[in-house]
């Protein structure tokens, strides 16, 4: 392998790791929403759509806004 190729790979590695962790967090929040939200009303559907279509931003919104409220209300 070329030294430049190795250097490029090492520079890209942190970005790939961050992207992978963001994807895992997104999946975790989507699964959490779909499995732990109550099925009454449209809350589950709306939050799942927010997480799905807004990707990382939607997952962060769910994590910081809805998830703590759900834990206080339902204990889950």
Contact 26, 51 (CB under 8 A): yes
Q: What's the pTM value of the predicted model, to 2 decimals?
A: 0.81
For residue 68, count other CB atoms closer than 10 A to its CB: 10
Query: What's the average model confidence in pLDDT over 62-75?
Result: 85
- pLDDT band for 76, please (50, 70, 90 cuts): low
| pLDDT tens, position by position, 7-47 | 777 888 889 999 999 999 999 999 999 998 888 888 899 99
Classified as helix, coil or strand, 45 is helix
Share of the chain above pLDDT 90, in %: 55
pLDDT at residue 71 in the model = 80
Query: What's the average model confidence in pLDDT over 47-69?
Result: 94
Q: Residues 10-28, buried b or exposed e (16+ Cβ, 10 A)?
A: eeeeeeeeeeeeeeeebee
């Amino acid at each position: 392998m070329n030294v430049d190729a190795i250097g490029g790979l090492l520079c890209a590695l942190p970005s790939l790791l961050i992207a992978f962790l963001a994807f895992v967090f997104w999946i975790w929040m989507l699964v959490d929403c779909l499995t732990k939200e109550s099925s009454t009303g449209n809350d589950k559907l709306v939050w799942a759509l927010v997480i799905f279509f807004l990707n990382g931003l939607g997952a962060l919104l769910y994590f910081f806004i809805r998830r703590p409220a759900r834990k206080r209300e339902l204990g889950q």
